[in-house]
Chains A and B, each alone.
Chain A
Amino acid sequence: MRWLLLICLGLCLPAWSATDYSLKPRQIAEGTWLLEGSTENFAKANGGNIVNTAFIVTDAGVVVIDTGPSKRYGEALRQAIAATTDKPVIQVLLTHHHPDHVLGNQAFSDVPIGALPGTADLLRQQGDALAENMYRLVGDWMRGTEVVLPTQALSPGTLKVGDHSMRLLALAGHTGADLAILDETTGVLFAGDLVFYERALTTPNSPGLEVWLKDLGTLQALPWKQIVPGHGPVATDARPFLQMHDYLGWLDQLMRDGAARGDDMAEMIRSPIPERFAGISLSRYELIRSVSHLYPRYERAGMKRVDTHDPD
C-alpha cells in the first residue's frame, strides 16, 4: 500500500507546483522591484501571470503597483515583498480596472487600495463579469478570487510616501481611467497599460485611439529614466513609445481605410499585419478584438442617414 501512496503523491506534486506563480522580484532601480509577467495570453499554463506588477520600498513602507490576476497571485506577491524587505506594505496603487491588474486585491485588504474614481466605477460595473471570464480562461489558479473594490480615491498630483515623491497622472486612452505613476525619486515611469511593449495592445474600454495617442505624448514628455510597461519588458529608451505610436497609428489608419472602402468587420479582421509588427506577441488575436471594439465607430462615421420618413 505504501508504494501506492507514493505514486499518488508523485502524481499530485506536479499539480501543486503547476499552480505556484514562483514570483521573483527583480530590482530595477533604487528600492524598486519588478515582477515581470509573460507576453502571452491568459492561459491555464500561466495562471494569468501575463502582467507586470511592481513595488517600491520607501523608508515609510512599501507601495505596491497593481496586485495581479488572482487572489493566489496577490498572496504570492505579498510573500515576495516580505522576502525582500522588513518594511510593511502601506499603500496599493491600481493603474486601471482590468482583471490582470486588480484581482490580487484580496491579499491587500488591510491597506489602502488607491485608484482613480473612474477605475472604481468601472470595476464596480464590470468586475464580476471580468473575474468570471478569468475563471474560464485560467481555471483553478483563480480559486477563491473575488473582486475587492478600491478603498481610496486618487487624484492627479504629487503623492509623497516616505522618501519617495510620486507624480500621479489621470489619463484615459486605454480604459477611460488610467493612472500613470512617475516616481520622481528614481525616474521610473509606471505606465500601466497605456504602454504595451512587444505585446499587442488591448482596446476593450478605450475611448478612442486619438485619446490614447495624446496620452502617449503626455507620458513621453515626462522626465523619465526608465519605463515599466503594463505588459512587456522594461526599457530605458523611447522604443516602447515609438512602437506604440507606430502600432496605434497603423490600427487607426487601417480602420479608416476599411470604413472608406465599406469593408465589414469580418473582412477587417483578416487584414494583413505589417512585417515590422511580426515580433509583437498576439497581434492577430488583438486585431480581431480591436476591430470588434472600435470598428463600429469608424463605420458609423463613414455612413449617412438614408431613411426616408413619411411626412405624417
Chain B
Amino acid sequence: MNWRAFGLLLGCLPLMASAVEPGKDPVPSVMWAFYHKQLLADAPFVFDERVRLLAPPFAEDARQVPLEIDARAFAGDVVRILAWAELNPLPRIVDFQPSERVLPWLSIRIRIEQATPLRAAVQTRDGLWHVGSTVIDAAGGGCTAPSVVRTQAGWEEHLGEVLGGRYPRGDSNRLRLQIAHPMDNGLVSGIPEFFIDQAQLFDADGKLLARLELFPAVSENPNLGFDIRGSGQTRLVLRDNSGNQFDAAIP
C-alpha cells in the first residue's frame, strides 16, 4: 500500500464510522439520544443483541436488582463497558475496563427507582459502541428507600469487610465478592453521598486485571462477579469517596 492510499484510508475512517447504521432501538426509550450524547459523546454505535444485558423482568426488591452484562461475544476485543438505568435519578452504574485475562462479563446488583430501560454499551477496539438493552418493571423506590445497612447496630465496624470466593469453571475461574458498605447515594434524607467509587483487580504479580468505576446506583453491600482466565490468587483494592481504602485477597 502506498502512502497516498494509506492517507486516503485514514481520511475515510471517521466517515466509515459515522456511516454505521445503528439499527432499531429494541426497547421503548425517551432518553436514548440524551445518554448517547451524555455518556457516549455522540460516538458511533449499534444496537447489538450480542451484548446480552440480563435482568429479571421485574424488580422483586428494587434495592437489589441483579444484573448480568455479557459481552463474551466480543472477547479479546473489548475496551470498556458502561452501564446505566435510563430512568434512574442517578442513572450510571459502572464503567468496567477488563484486561485480556478478564472476560467481558460482569455481575452486579443495582437500585432502580422505577420501571426503566437498562443499557450496557460495549466499546470494541475499532471505537464502535455496541449497545445491549433490556427493560425492567418495578413498583419502584429502590433509590430513595432507607439504607438497610444503617439499621444494623455497629455497621461502621464492618465497613469494608469483604466476603469472597473463587469457583473453578473449566479454563476460567468465577470470582464472587461482596463488600460491606452502605453505598449512600445522597437521595435518602440527611445522609450525604458515601459510596465505593473505585475498584481494581490485580493478579498475584500485581498486574492490573480490571479497573472499575462504580456509581451510587450500585446496591448497598455491593456484589461483584468476574470470570478470569487462568488461576492464581487475585487482589481487590477498593476506595470510597471518603478516601477509605479496602483490600481483599482472594485465594
- The stretch among A2-10, A72-80, A296-304 that forms the contact with chain B is A296-304
For A306, give its contact among B107, B109, B167, B250 (CB under 8 Å): B250
| Contact status of A306 and B174, CB under 8 A, knowing A266-B55, A266-B67, A288-B57 | no
| Contact status of A264 and B248, CB under 8 A, knowing A133-B139, A269-B66, A303-B163 | no
The minimal Cβ–Cβ distance linking A151 to chain B, given in whole angstroms, is: 29
| Contact status of A266 and B56, CB under 8 A, knowing A133-B139, A299-B176, A305-B161 | yes
Total A-B pairs in contact (CB under 8 Å)? 86
Q: Which of A133, A204, A289, A292 lies at the interface centre, i.e. has the most chain B CB atoms within 10 A of its CB?
A: A292
Kindly report which residue of chain B lies nearest to residue A310, judged by CB atoms. B247
| A305 to B161 CA separation, bound complex (whole angstroms) | 7
For B178, give its contact among A269, A300, A310 (CB under 8 Å): A300
Asked if B162 is at the interface of the complex by the 8 Å CB criterion, the answer is yes
Chain B 44-59 interface mask (CB, 8 Å, partner A; 1/0): 0000000000111110
Per the 8 Å Cβ criterion, residues 30-86 of B in contact with A are 54-58, 60-61, 64, 66-68
| A288 to B65 CA separation, bound complex (whole angstroms) | 11
Asked if A307 is at the interface of the complex by the 8 Å CB criterion, the answer is yes
Per the 8 Å Cβ criterion, residues 178-237 of B in contact with A are 178, 223, 225, 236
Per the 8 Å Cβ criterion, residues 134-157 of A in contact with B are 136
| A227 to B160 CA separation, bound complex (whole angstroms) | 50
| A305 to B68 CA separation, bound complex (whole angstroms) | 24
| Contact status of A264 and B66, CB under 8 A, knowing A288-B58, A300-B178, A303-B176 | yes
The minimal Cβ–Cβ distance linking A167 to chain B, given in whole angstroms, is: 35
Chain A contact residues, majority secondary structure:
helix
| A266 to B54 CA separation, bound complex (whole angstroms) | 7
| Contact status of A265 and B109, CB under 8 A, knowing A307-B246, A307-B248 | yes
**Contacting pair A292 B225 (CB below 8 A):** no
**Contacting pair B176 A264 (CB below 8 A):** yes
**Contacting pair B139 A136 (CB below 8 A):** yes
Asked if B169 is at the interface of the complex by the 8 Å CB criterion, the answer is yes
| A270 to B52 CA separation, bound complex (whole angstroms) | 14
**Contacting pair A306 B176 (CB below 8 A):** no
Asked if B243 is at the interface of the complex by the 8 Å CB criterion, the answer is no
The minimal Cβ–Cβ distance linking A28 to chain B, given in whole angstroms, is: 34
**Contacting pair B68 A292 (CB below 8 A):** no
Kindly report which residue of chain A lies nearest to residue B108, judged by CB atoms. A264
Per the 8 Å Cβ criterion, residues 281-296 of A in contact with B are 288-289, 292-293, 296
The minimal Cβ–Cβ distance linking A38 to chain B, given in whole angstroms, is: 20
| A264 to B177 CA separation, bound complex (whole angstroms) | 11
Chain A 248-289 interface mask (CB, 8 Å, partner B; 1/0): 000000000000111011110110000000000000000011
**Contacting pair B167 A261 (CB below 8 A):** yes
List, in ascending order, chain B residues with CB within 8 A of A125's CB.
none
**Contacting pair A264 B58 (CB below 8 A):** no
| A237 to B86 CA separation, bound complex (whole angstroms) | 52
Kindly report which residue of chain A lies nearest to residue B55, judged by CB atoms. A266
**Contacting pair B176 A292 (CB below 8 A):** no
| Contact status of A262 and B225, CB under 8 A, knowing A288-B60, A306-B248 | yes
The minimal Cβ–Cβ distance linking B19 to chain A, given in whole angstroms, is: 35
Q: Which of B163, B169, B175, B248 lies at the interface centre, i.e. has the most chain A CB atoms within 10 A of its CB?
A: B163
| A204 to B109 CA separation, bound complex (whole angstroms) | 18
**Contacting pair B162 A305 (CB below 8 A):** yes
Q: Which of A136, A293, A303, A310 lies at the interface centre, i.e. has the most chain B CB atoms within 10 A of its CB?
A: A303
List, in ascending order, chain B residues with CB within 8 A of A133's CB.
139
A292-B60, A296-B64, A299-B178 known; 11 new pairs, CB 8 Å cut-off, are A204-B60, A264-B107, A264-B176, A264-B223, A265-B107, A266-B55, A266-B66, A289-B60, A300-B178, A302-B165, A306-B250
Interchain residue pairs with CB less than 8 A apart (30): A204-B60, A260-B167, A261-B174, A262-B165, A262-B225, A265-B66, A265-B107, A266-B56, A266-B67, A267-B54, A267-B107, A270-B54, A288-B58, A289-B60, A292-B56, A292-B60, A292-B64, A292-B66, A293-B61, A303-B163, A303-B178, A305-B164, A306-B162, A306-B177, A306-B236, A307-B160, A307-B248, A308-B247, A308-B249, A310-B247
